[in-house]
Amino acid sequence: MNKFPAWLNLLVLAILLVGMLLALPNLYGSVPAVQLADANGGDLSEERVAEVTRLLEASEIVPEASYLKDGRVVIRFHDGEDELAAAARERLRSAYDGELSVAPTLAPKLPAWVRALGLSPMSLGLDLRGGVYVLLEVDMDTALDTRLSLYEQDFNERLRDAGIINRAEVDGSVITVRIREAEELERARQIIREADDEVLISDGVDGRSLRVRMTDAQIQARKDLSIEQNITTLRNRVNELGVAEPLVQRQGEDRIVVQLPGVQDPNELDKILTATATLEFRLVDSTRELPGTRQYPGRGDEPNQYLKREVVASGDQIIDAESGFSEGQPAVFITLDSTGGERMLATTLDNVGQPMSTVFIETRRDTVIRDGVAEQRTIKTEEIINTATIRGVFKSSFQITGLTPLEARDLALLLRAGALAAPVYKIDERTIGPSLGQDNIDRGFQAITIGFLAVIVFMAIYYRAFGLIANVALLSNLVFIVALLSVLQASLTLPGIAGIVLTVGMAVDANVLIFERIREELSAGSSPQTAINSGYEKALSSIADANITTLIAAVVLFAFGTGPIKGFAITLSLGIVTSMFTAIIGTRAIVNLAFGGRKLESLPV
């Protein structure tokens, strides 16, 4: 009685060994390092590692190790060699400007064999390593408005090209197209259909107009596209900043989470992240009478202008932008994509001698307090930074002036990284300094250690030998939680540590239930062997019920929780699952080995 078959003992041992191996990378600590990533998101090669190492060694910067990790090159230095790491960063930045994004980071000091197994330590949440967390909301109304304006312009031009005199107007979510001659209504419908075969077209009440709306599917697709484009743009911007292991991720319907470990200055980040600065090029309407013409204010000394409704080219058609100087003035050198280039060519061909303006557009959101309630208000600034006469025909490359040097630099960065498809607003931002992160780690670790010690001392005194067995289970439970967190690469946060601490306290519950049951059985007169067997068997349904109910709470917490709370839910859930294994099967294996199949007078429980 009370013997596990050999295979089961071996299985338990094997699982424990695997757990220890997976948890192992966490013991090495981390050292200063530099991380290189392909600026275009591709994977780097082994040749690149060798090349970078040679380059550094030529400058007498000798790294401790360099290797490839997830398509990125990691250059690692010894502990305390922060200055060397900084020198390496500068050297690499100047060598690979624009080609590779170079970022300072901390790398785990894993020996090569551990790395070769593909193992890595737990990833730490921002509250433990320091950094910036930003939750951005994408302004979907603006995204849809922009799309509607494009439709409006497109329909208007197509109808005009077909000789139909019309006026198109966006009103809320509807584009109203008014036709002068009622008999051309059907032909107009045809043309709009050709332009887009999905939109909903209905007749206006006056019999001379069409009302065009986007379908729900189109609206959804547009929203998805806006988010996706914004994520791409934000990734590019973050890469321009040089941050290791950035996270840019969609959250829910219209939000984007950005996590930047190690970034300390939220002000610098703000300027780059949520900036919507972009450009539009429009022709000046000297008659001031064309439909849709309106007045734009000039920035500073620039005169105000009446500009035509049609946009010649806009920021999202810009594929490259560099800041510099032209004739002593700060300038941005712009390259348009082929569509933008064609349009610019056609416009300049037709309008030599006419003035064209560059409009600088910026959207930001302010908080205003109205009747004691804080509300968000969108402020859009459109200013003419420059108006120039078209002197000759040009296509995709040209330059603009009218900005300060700093503005030119930021604008070039933003245009290069791509414009945001729709404005984004920061609705939640948390910056954690590195000192607080380290404090949190130290304190959390201390709490775990002391809490753990208190529990094992208590268990050893209270249940003697069985208590010691429960303690082995408790320790392996910790190993398993760490192992699972390392494998899943789920971020460990301060509430996550609290979850582990709580698990330590609660994990002994299963053993308490079993041991108390064994004591009961013994005092009811059972033999030690029977007591062990029925103690484990009868406690099982209680243990299962108790753990499943706690798991329900943890899963609900995971589903509803955000950020750090999720971290708590994860460690709590993992802890519950692993503790079931260690407390039931793990302790039984040891109990069976120690006491099973022998004649016993009493049990040390």
Partner 1 sequence: MRLIKEKTKINFLGESRRKVALVVSLVVVIASIVSLATRGLEFGIDFTGGILLEVGYPEAADLEGIRSNLLASGFDDAQVQYFGAEDDVLVRLPPQEGDSRAIRERLQEVLAAGGQTVDLRRVETVSPQVGRELTEQGGLAMIFALMMIFAYVMFRFQWKFAAGAVAALVHDVIVTIGFFSIFGLPFDLTVVAAVLAVIGYSLNDTVVAFDRIRENFFKLRGIAADESMNVSINEMLARTLITGLTTLLVLFALLFLGGEAIAPFSIALIVGIIVGTYSSIYTASATALLLGVSAQDLIEPVKDPELVDDLP
- CA nearest 66: which of 79, 81, 54? 54
**Binder among 6, 205, 217, 373 for partner 1 (CB under 8 A):** 373
Contact segment (CB under 8 A) with partner 1 among 99-107, 110-118, 152-160, 450-458 equals 450-458
Q: How many residues bind partner 1 (CB under 8 A)?
A: 91
**Structure-block tokens of residue 351:** 């309008």
Task: Considering the complex, state which of residue 228 and residue 545 has its C-beta at the smaller distance from partner 1.
Answer: 545
Among 329, 433, 488, 597, interactor with partner 1 by CB under 8 A: 433
| Minimum distance, C-beta of residue 550 to partner 1, in the bound complex (Å) | 4
Smallest distance from partner 1 to CB 410, Å: 14
**Taking CB under 8 A as the rule, does residue 426 contact partner 1?**
yes
Rounded Cα distance between 401 and 283, Å, is 17
In this chain, which of 459, 478, 479, 583 binds partner 1, going by CB under 8 A? Answer: 459
Q: Are 29 and 76 in contact (CB under 8 A)?
A: no
Least distance between partner 1 and beta carbon 485 (Å)? 18
Name the one range near partner 1 by CB under 8 A: 51-59, 97-105, 387-395, 501-509: 501-509
Among 458, 488, 489, 598, contact with partner 1 (rule: CB under 8 A): 458
494-527 burial by CB neighbour count: b if 16+ within 10 A, else e? bbbbbbbbbbbebbbbbbbbbbebbbebbeeebe
Give the list of residues 6+ apart from residue 504 with CB closer than 8 angstroms, or none: 448, 451, 452, 455, 474, 477, 478
What minimum distance in Å lies between the beta carbon of 443 and partner 1?
A: 4
Q: Which two tokens stand for residue 391?
A: 């002197």
Torsion of CA 293, 299, 300, 306, to 10 degrees: -10
- Considering only residues 375 to 394 of the shown chain, the ones binding partner 1 according to CB under 8 A are 376
Instruction: Lay out the site mask for partner 1 across 241-280 (x = CB under 8 A, - = otherwise).
Output: -------------------------xx--xx---------
Beta bridge partners of 295: 306
Nearer to partner 1, 255 or 309 (CB): 255
Q: Smallest distance, Å, CB 540 to partner 1?
A: 5
Q: How far is the CB of 232 from partner 1 (least distance, A)?
A: 24
To the nearest whole angstrom, how small is the minimum distance from the Cβ of residue 545 to partner 1? 5
**Could you say whether residue 430 binds partner 1 (CB under 8 A)?**
yes
Residue 135 or 260: which CB sits closer to partner 1?
135
DSSP annotation of 291 reads T
| Shortest distance (Å) from residue 584 CB to partner 1 | 8
- Residue from 435, 599, 601, 602 touching partner 1 (CB under 8 A): that is 435
Q: Which is nearer to partner 1, 220 or 446 (CB)?
A: 446
Return the range that interacts with partner 1 (CB under 8 A); candidates 145-153, 190-198, 305-313, 582-590: 582-590
Q: Which two tokens stand for residue 598?
A: 């022998």
Least distance CB 563 / partner 1 (angstroms):
8
CB count in 10 Å sphere of residue 219: 16
Q: How far is CA 396 from CA 284, 313, 340, 415, 418, in A?
A: 20, 10, 7, 14, 16
Q: Which range binds partner 1 by CB under 8 A, 20-28, 34-42, 231-239, 460-468?
A: 460-468
Tell me the Cα Rg of the chain: 33
Measured between alpha carbons, how far apart are the two ends of the chain, in Å? Answer: 18
Q: How far is the CB of 234 from partner 1 (least distance, A)?
A: 17
Map the footprint of partner 1 across residues 133-162, applying CB under 8 A. Answer: 135
| 339-347 LR contacts (CB < 8 Å, sep 24+) | 340/313, 340/314, 340/396, 341/395, 341/396, 342/395, 343/312, 343/313, 344/281, 344/312, 344/313, 344/394, 344/395, 344/396, 344/398, 345/393, 345/394, 345/395, 347/283, 347/312
Give the binding range for partner 1 (CB under 8 A) out of 46-54, 177-185, 309-317, 431-439: 431-439
| Residue selected from 56, 85, 243, 572 as contacting partner 1 according to rule CB under 8 A | 572
DSSP 210: E
d(CA 591, CA 2): 8
CB 336 within 8 A of CB 251: no
Residue 85 CB, nearest distance to partner 1 (Å)? 22
Nearest one of 111, 122, 95 to 36, comparing CA atoms: 95
Q: For residue 529, what are its two tokens?
A: 């062997």
Q: Which of residues 505-564 bind partner 1 (CB under 8 A)?
A: 505-506, 508-509, 512-513, 516, 519-520, 523, 536-538, 540-542, 544-554, 556-557, 559-562, 564
Supply the minimum distance, in Å, between the C-beta of residue 173 and partner 1: 23
Separation of alpha carbons 54 and 48, rounded Å: 10
**Where in 308-367 is the site for partner 1 (CB under 8 A)?**
364, 366-367
Our CB check for partner 1 shows the closer of 9 and 218 to be 9
With contacts defined by CB under 8 A, name the span among 117-125, 338-346, 401-409, 446-454 that binds partner 1.
Answer: 446-454
Q: How far is the CB of 422 from partner 1 (least distance, A)?
A: 17
C-beta of 97 vs 265, nearer to partner 1 = 265
**Among the candidate windows 179-187, 234-242, 412-420, 452-460, which touches partner 1 by CB under 8 A?**
452-460
Note the helical H segments in 111-211.
112-116, 126-129, 140-161, 185-195
Those residues with Cβ within 8 angstroms of residue 168's Cβ, 6 or more apart along the chain or in another chain: 152, 153, 155, 156, 159, 175, 176, 177, 178
Binding residues among 223-242 for partner 1 as defined by CB under 8 A: none
